[in-house]
Amino acid sequence: MSATPVLIDCDPGHDDAIALVMAHRSPDIDLLGVTTVCGNATLDRTTTNARRIMEFIGATDTPIAEGCREPLARPLVLGTADGPSGLDGTPDLPEASMALDERHAVDFIADTLASASEPITLVPTGPLTNIALFLLKYPHLKDRIGRIVLMGGAFYRRSEYITPTEFNIFCDPEAANIVVNSGVDVTMVGLDVTMHVLVEEPQFAELGKIDTPLGKVVLDWLAFYEKLHRGIMGVGGALHDPLALAVVIDPSLIETRPAHIAIDLTGSHMFGATVADFWNERGEGTNVTIATSVDSDRFFDLLYGLLRDERGV
């Protein structure tokens, strides 16, 4: 099967970083470009981190274009899971020297879609500001999108770990509202499944066997990320964004169901929440596909295999 052409829009971010590594190293992904957005850290930092990551893994031929500095309609609320730099705890990652594409992310996405010979899969792993702005500025190019597989949302089975609001949606709910109602084929990989792909002792044991420079940096990333997660929620580090990317590589990793998602843009307590209607009670049909379960063991087997692959660092 030929590789899937993909654009990743991200806010690295420790878990975004691992998604980028997987995309670059997977023979099933043709990573056409990376665009950056504010979220886990300021845009300057997420862009610098994207450059550092892509350069370190040898992906200097993959263009990086910088996107939106603020959400569409509200002040930026930064994420808290990656430290002030957005990629704290990585002493062995060299500083960035790789140049940026001179286009804005939205224009880069448009040019890439317009020149592609086949539909492209967009994989947003941060707030959806760039994607929404692309849809607003280039509506005639919407049909060049094959599908969107995004990390975002939380839909049911509330628990102390599955909160009503998930950060990527909460950070820019107006943008998310545009994307889920765009008519594009959207799959949402939300906390309902990503909170089941946690890095804990067994995963650290497997990752520790990967004796390469990349393996060492990934361990550094996850050591910081897991410690911060455990301090906040008492569980390991959830590989949110890597799972969204993995779904493009192997769709059988998850089970899904169609639903209509409404996003709370005004609520005092549920602001930014993704409210799912699975039974068409609102009479609005369906607008997205939701991931409902994940085969965690097969996900981690895929991750380990891509990190062990000798093709990269």
> Which residues form the interface with ligand RIB (CB under 6 A)?
11, 13, 15-16, 39-40, 79, 125-126, 151, 166-168, 240-241
In eight-state DSSP terms, residue 27 is T
CA atoms within 13 A on the CB side of 287: 19
* CA-closest candidate to residue 36, choices 26, 49, 25, 18: 49
Cα torsion angle, 233, 174, 189, 292, sign: positive
Q: Single out the catalytic residue among 24, 104, 229, 240.
A: 240
Q: Which residue from 12, 89, 83, 86 is spatially nearest to 53, judged by alpha carbons? A: 12
Instruction: Tell me how far, at minimum, the Cβ of 117 lies from ligand RIB, in Å.
Output: 30
Give the whole-angstrom CA distance, residue 63 versus residue 228: 31
Count of residues touching Ca ion (by CB under 5 A): 6
Measured CA to CA, the distance from residue 242 to residue 129 in angstroms comes to 20
Binders of Ca ion among 187-226, rule CB under 5 A? none
Of positions 36, 121, 125, 130, contacts Ca ion by CB under 5 A: 125
Q: From Ca ion, ligand RIB, none, which one binds at residue 167 (CB under 5 to 8 Å depending on kind)?
A: ligand RIB
Nearest CA to 11 out of 75, 85, 74, 121 is that of 85
CB of 118 to ligand RIB, least distance (A): 27
Q: Which residue in 86, 126, 153, 164 binds Ca ion (CB under 5 A)? A: 126
299 binds, among Ca ion, ligand RIB, none (CB under 5 to 8 A by kind): none
Decide if residue 166 touches Ca ion (CB under 5 A).
no
* x-marked contacts with Ca ion along 241-280 as a string, rule CB under 5 A: x---------------------------------------
157 or 209: CB nearest ligand RIB = 157
Q: Is 163 exposed, middle or buried (0-12, 13-18, 19+ CB in 10 A)?
A: middle
User: Which CB sits closer to ligand RIB, 62 or 125?
Assistant: 125
The answer to whether 16 contacts Ca ion (rule: CB under 5 A) is: yes
Least gap, CB of 130 to Ca ion (angstroms): 13
CB-based contacts of 264, cutoff 8 Å, min separation 6: 173, 270, 271, 272, 273, 275
Q: Which is nearer to ligand RIB, 41 or 96 (CB)?
A: 41
The single residue listed with the structure tokens 């949302």 is: 153
Piece of 47-55, 140-148, 207-215, 239-247 that binds Ca ion (CB under 5 A): 239-247
Burial of 49 from C-beta contacts in 10 A (0-12 / 13-18 / 19+): buried
Residue 179 contact partner, candidates ligand RIB, Ca ion, none, CB within 5 to 8 A by sort of partner: none
42 sits near Ca ion (criterion: CB under 5 A): no
Query: Please, which residue, 93 or 116, has the CB nearer to ligand RIB?
Result: 93
Beta strands at 254-263 and 288-294: parallel, antiparallel or unpaired: antiparallel
| C-beta separation of 299 from 197 below 8 A | yes
Indicate if 24 belongs to the active site: no
- For the annotated catalytic residues, the residue numbers are 240
Binding positions for Ca ion, rule: CB under 5 A: 11, 13, 16, 125-126, 241
